[in-house]
Amino acid sequence: MNSTCLLSGREGRLARLRMNRPEVRNALSRELCRALIEETDRANEDHSIGAILLEGEGPVFCAGMDLNEDLAGNLGALHAELFSLGARLTKPMVAAVQGAAIAGGLGIALNAHVVVAGSTARFGLTETRIGLWPYTIYPAVVAAVGRRAAMELAISARIVDAETALRLGLVEHVVPPHELQARTVEIAMALANGSGQAVANGLRYVREIAEFGIAEILQHAVRKRAQAEGDADFAEGVRAFREKRAPQWPSHKV
């Protein structure tokens, strides 16, 4: 999709996506939702990319759904596709949150595998303030903070600060605002340069065991471990360890 609402760039093995609607606090229009889906899927399928960095232009990461658009039509299906990105990706995604991630903005942030927040950032599920439950966002919130904390955030519609978000599990890192970009790029680059094969296998495994009981998880783990022991990245990792050198991951070669 050729759209100015989402800017895309590349730094080595890192794909950078930047929501570009600062005049409306990067509100999630239909066009922006579709662009996010298409560009993340494209990056996920590109073997030369190791990780994805999601950012927002301007002082606010994302204020949620664009309420100035016509809300008729099957908007729920589009949001369901958008807010399940994290479950589909086989490459790590990192979100850099400045200002605020509210409602759908929190939903898209939580579809990243790592969320880095500026210390002045704010987070909230505010849908009940407009008479709506955060249906399509809710599973990602439950996965991050657990059922009771997710329910309380949704029914209270309260806004929490970055330190509270860290304590709840909405974010993994809180940094000074002036360090947000550099720190997030550093984290994302480190993920991009890891074993793409191991990470992809691991993310699939995490998705596969979501509904398993402990016995099934362990049985599946044994099968997956046996498969992984035949992977080229594993063989190289062992050789590099024994030879006391940095690994040259075969999965990075296109």
User: Is 181 in the same domain as 146?
Assistant: yes
> Is residue 202 predicted with pLDDT exceeding 60?
yes
Q: Would you call 192 exposed, middle or buried from its count of C-beta atoms within 10 A (0-12, 13-18, 19+)? A: buried
Which CATH number fits the domain that encloses residue 87?
3.90.226.10
User: Is 94 in the same domain as 217?
Assistant: no
Q: Could you tell me if residue 20 is inside a domain?
A: yes
User: Is 124 in the same domain as 223?
Assistant: no
Span 193-210, mean pLDDT?
Answer: 93
Name 11's bridge partners.
14
The dihedral built from the CA positions of residue 172, 184, 124 and 69, taken in this order, carries a sign that is: negative
User: Is 229 in the same domain as 108?
Assistant: no
User: Is 70 in the same domain as 156?
Assistant: yes
Q: Would you call 240 exposed, middle or buried from its count of C-beta atoms within 10 A (0-12, 13-18, 19+)? A: middle
pLDDT in tens, 40-89: 999 999 999 999 999 999 999 999 999 998 877 778 899 999 999 998 99
User: Is 84 in the same domain as 210?
Assistant: no
Is-above-0.75 flag for pTM?
yes
User: Is 121 in the same domain as 205?
Assistant: no
CB 55 within 8 A of CB 154: no
Range of the domain at 178: 6-192
pLDDT in tens, 168-189: 999 999 999 999 999 999 999 9
Give the number of domains in the chain: 2
Which CATH number fits the domain that encloses residue 235?
1.10.12.10
> Is residue 225 predicted with pLDDT exceeding 90?
no
pLDDT grade for 2, boundaries at 50, 70 and 90: low
pLDDT grade for 210, boundaries at 50, 70 and 90: confident
User: Is 166 in the same domain as 82?
Assistant: yes
User: Is 159 in the same domain as 241?
Assistant: no
Sheet holding 51-56: strands in order across? 6-11, 14-19, 51-56, 93-97, 114-118, 173-175
Q: Could you tell me if residue 226 is inside a domain?
A: yes
Q: Could you tell me if residue 246 is inside a domain?
A: yes
- Give pLDDT, residue 179: 98
User: Is 152 in the same domain as 58?
Assistant: yes
pLDDT in tens, 242-251: 999 999 999 9
Span 215-240, mean pLDDT?
Answer: 88
**Of 36, 142, 158, 134, which is closest to residue 89 (Cα–Cα)?**
36
**Of 153, 131, 50, 58, which is closest to residue 93 (Cα–Cα)?**
50
Q: Could you tell me if residue 74 is inside a domain?
A: yes
Q: What does the alpha-carbon distance between residue 98 and residue 118 come to, in Å, rounded to a whole number?
A: 5
Span 123-135, mean pLDDT?
Answer: 95
User: Is 234 in the same domain as 147?
Assistant: no
Span 192-212, mean pLDDT?
Answer: 92
pLDDT grade for 254, boundaries at 50, 70 and 90: low
Q: Could you tell me if residue 1 is inside a domain?
A: no
Name 95's bridge partners.
54, 115
> Is residue 193 predicted with pLDDT exceeding 80?
yes
**Domain boundary pick from 148, 163, 192:** 192
The dihedral built from the CA positions of residue 221, 80, 34 and 186, taken in this order, carries a sign that is: negative
**Domain boundary pick from 172, 192, 212:** 192
Span 233-248, mean pLDDT?
Answer: 92
238 against 21, higher pLDDT? 21
User: Is 147 in the same domain as 225?
Assistant: no
